[in-house]
Amino acid sequence: MENFIFRAPTHMYFGKGQIKHLPEILKEYGKNVLLAYGGGSIKKNGIYDKVLEVLSDFNIIEFSGIEPNPRIGTVRRGAEICRQNKIDVILAVGGGSTIDCSKVIGAATFYEGDAWDLVKDSSKIGKVLPIVTILTISATGSEMNKGAVISNPETNEKLGTSSVNMYPKASILDPEYTYTLPAIQTSAGTADIMSHVIENYFKKTEGAFLQDKISEGILKTCIKYCPIALKEPKNYEARSNLMWASSLALNGLCGSGKEGSWSCHPIEHELSAFYDITHGVGLAIITPRWMRYILSDKTVDKFACYAINVWEFENEEDKFALAKKGIDATEKFFKDCGIPMNLGKLGIDDLLLEKMSNAAVAHRNLKNAYVPLDAKDVYNILKMCL
Ligand code: NZQ
Ligand code: ZN
């Protein structure tokens, strides 16, 4: 296991009715609240009304219309509103897109230059407005981490940035708020949670046994509960387990002490940069193809371990056969969850594969991945996804 510093400063308010704590949480930071949200799902399912009801003593300025795969233009507009209205705290109500956008708005509010600088170079992030979140989809882990991913449609870039100053101060996780999710978002969110774990499970560092056991537990939780949530959207047990899995998958628990770059996320970020697709759908398509591509004498033991400990296959002598069973099970799971498992089904052909492959390698250090990847490898993996 490598050395690491683990931080988890976000106060997590988990469970039914935890929104009652919102006034006491926000009071600490001031009266002027930017209420940030997306395309309106919170108005349809009643969360918006509930927020206004509990915040009757606060001065609320609304900032709506944050799009999935949030854009830098939206960040710029949000920061301007924060400056004009002397905002004290941002309340992000939604999923990863709303939370990520709010984090960078919070940073851009105090930054003299253009907000895109903060995405390109995280060292430029200084002071950040306090961020409080109300999570409505189990997926990214943004509710408990310091990262944010922002798109620039003008340059076809979708890049991650991070700062310890962007950790949410507090997050409210009420599983009932996820009851209204469209089925595809439940599935895509679960695929994202699983990918965050898988990216860290398959790393070069050996001997991080505990992290691997936590990872296997999170994966098994997703495998058990996503189908239940799809069948019974109001099943509290399923929704609560998925919601906590979202936060634990990407708060450092699984990744700390393990070295190396991720593989599937850098590839997916190019797909959503060029085609604006749903992040989790892209990951579900890429992950099993990437697994097949990197399966070799060097990696087979880890894949066999994955097949046994995550998918509960019996041990057998033929390690490759076992590894393939685990990979097949991964692909079948996503398919059974209703995710379209080919890029063609999303209207993506081979036109931009080369461009995206070069960009993936340029944006991330894929040489340092579990199995090093160059642009040709990324191209081959994307080709398998068509
Ligand atoms: O915009 P509204 O109307 O709210 O609708 C959203 C959106 O259309 C809808 N939705 C969310 N909660 C709902 C709901 N609809 C009904 N009922 C509810 N309770 O779901 C759609 C997707 O929302 P979004 O916020 O985009 O989803 P997600 O949480 O998956 O976020 C994806 C973004 O996060 C980035 C992704 O790249 C993508 O841009 N990521 C952020 C990370 C981080 N900060 O750590 C890590 C991830 O790997 C990821 O890259
Ligand atoms: Zn992700």
Domain C-terminal end among 151, 177, 203 = 177
Q: What is the pLDDT of residue 385?
A: 98
Establish if 158 belongs to a structural domain.
yes
Of the candidates 270, 289, 290, 291, which has an alpha carbon nearest to the alpha carbon of residue 279? 270
For the chain, how long is the longest CA-to-CA vector?
Answer: 67
Does 190 lie in the same domain as 171? no
Tell the residue nearest (CA) to atom 15 of ligand 1: 181
Q: Domain tally for the chain?
A: 2
Establish if 6 belongs to a structural domain.
no
Q: What is the pLDDT of residue 174?
A: 98
Q: What is the pLDDT of residue 131?
A: 98
Assigned token pair, 37: 């949200």
Q: What is the pLDDT of residue 315?
A: 97
Q: What DSSP designation does 67 have?
A: P
Chain segment 40-64, per-residue pLDDT in tens: 999 999 999 999 999 999 999 999 9
Q: What is the pLDDT of residue 36?
A: 98
Establish if 326 belongs to a structural domain.
yes
Please answer whether residues 64 and 96 qualify as being in contact, where contact means their C-beta atoms are separated by less than 8 angstroms: no
Ligand 1 centroid – CA 136 distance (Å): 8
Considering every ligand atom shown, identify the ligand nearest to the alpha carbon of residue 143 and give its number. 1
Does 263 lie in the same domain as 140? no
Calculate the average pLDDT of the chain: 98
Chain segment 247-297, per-residue pLDDT in tens: 999 999 999 999 999 999 999 999 999 999 999 999 999 999 999 999 999
Assigned token pair, 348: 């993506």
CATH of the domain at 135: 3.40.50.1970
Does 197 lie in the same domain as 125? no
Domain C-terminal end among 177, 202, 227 = 177
Q: By residue range, what is the domain housing residue 76?
A: 11-177
Q: Which residue has the tokens 């705290």?
A: 89
Q: What is the pLDDT of residue 314?
A: 97
Please answer whether residues 104 and 118 qualify as being in contact, where contact means their C-beta atoms are separated by less than 8 angstroms: yes
User: Is the CB of 175 within 6 Å of ligand 1?
Assistant: no
Ligand 2 centroid – CA 265 distance (Å): 6
Tell the residue nearest (CA) to atom 8 of ligand 1: 68
Q: What is the pLDDT of residue 166?
A: 98
Does 82 lie in the same domain as 170? yes
User: Is the CB of 265 within 6 Å of ligand 1?
Assistant: yes
Does 147 lie in the same domain as 68? yes
CATH of the domain at 278: 1.20.1090.10
Paired sense of beta strands 59-63 and 11-14, if any: unpaired
Domain C-terminal end among 177, 197, 215 = 177
Does 252 lie in the same domain as 160? no
Ligand 2 centroid – CA 191 distance (Å): 8
User: Is the CB of 68 within 6 Å of ligand 1?
Assistant: yes
Of how many residues is the chain composed? 386
Does 121 lie in the same domain as 81? yes
Q: What is the pLDDT of residue 80?
A: 98
Which of 19, 37, 41, 105 has most ligand 1 atoms within 8 Å of its beta carbon, as the pocket-test mutant? 41
Which of 185, 270, 274 has most ligand 1 atoms within 8 Å of its beta carbon, as the pocket-test mutant? 185
Q: What is the pLDDT of residue 230?
A: 98
Q: What is the pLDDT of residue 123?
A: 98
Q: What is the pLDDT of residue 94?
A: 98
Q: What is the pLDDT of residue 374?
A: 98
pLDDT in tens for each of the 386 residues of the chain? 999 999 999 999 999 999 999 999 999 999 999 999 999 999 999 999 999 999 999 999 999 999 999 999 999 999 999 999 999 999 999 999 999 999 999 999 999 999 999 999 999 999 999 999 999 999 999 999 999 999 999 999 999 999 999 999 999 999 999 999 999 999 999 999 999 999 999 999 999 999 999 999 999 999 999 999 999 999 999 999 999 999 999 999 999 999 999 999 999 999 999 999 999 999 999 999 999 999 999 999 999 999 999 999 999 999 999 999 999 999 999 999 999 999 999 999 999 999 999 999 999 899 999 999 999 999 999 999 99
Which of 62, 99, 100 has most ligand 1 atoms within 8 Å of its beta carbon, as the pocket-test mutant? 100
User: Is the CB of 151 within 6 Å of ligand 1?
Assistant: no
User: Is the CB of 47 within 6 Å of ligand 1?
Assistant: no
Does 333 lie in the same domain as 231? yes
Does 159 lie in the same domain as 172? yes
Ligand 1 centroid – CA 96 distance (Å): 4
Ligand 1 centroid – CA 103 distance (Å): 14
Q: Which residue has the tokens 């253009």?
A: 114
Tell the residue nearest (CA) to atom 3 of ligand 1: 39
Q: What is the pLDDT of residue 270?
A: 97
User: Is the CB of 166 within 6 Å of ligand 1?
Assistant: no
User: Is the CB of 330 within 6 Å of ligand 1?
Assistant: no
Establish if 2 belongs to a structural domain.
no
Tell the residue nearest (CA) to atom 36 of ligand 1: 279
Does 208 lie in the same domain as 255? yes
The atom of ligand 1 lying closest to the CA of 188 is: 30
Q: How far apart are CA 79 and CA 81, in angstroms?
A: 5
Contacting residues for 276 by C-beta, under 8 A, at least 6 apart: 68, 69, 151, 153
Which of 37, 71, 97, 278 has most ligand 1 atoms within 8 Å of its beta carbon, as the pocket-test mutant? 97
Establish if 197 belongs to a structural domain.
yes
User: Is the CB of 153 within 6 Å of ligand 1?
Assistant: no
Does 194 lie in the same domain as 140? no
Please answer whether residues 149 and 108 qualify as being in contact, where contact means their C-beta atoms are separated by less than 8 angstroms: no
The atom of ligand 1 lying closest to the CA of 42 is: 4
Establish if 78 belongs to a structural domain.
yes
Does 259 lie in the same domain as 118? no
Establish if 294 belongs to a structural domain.
yes
Establish if 154 belongs to a structural domain.
yes
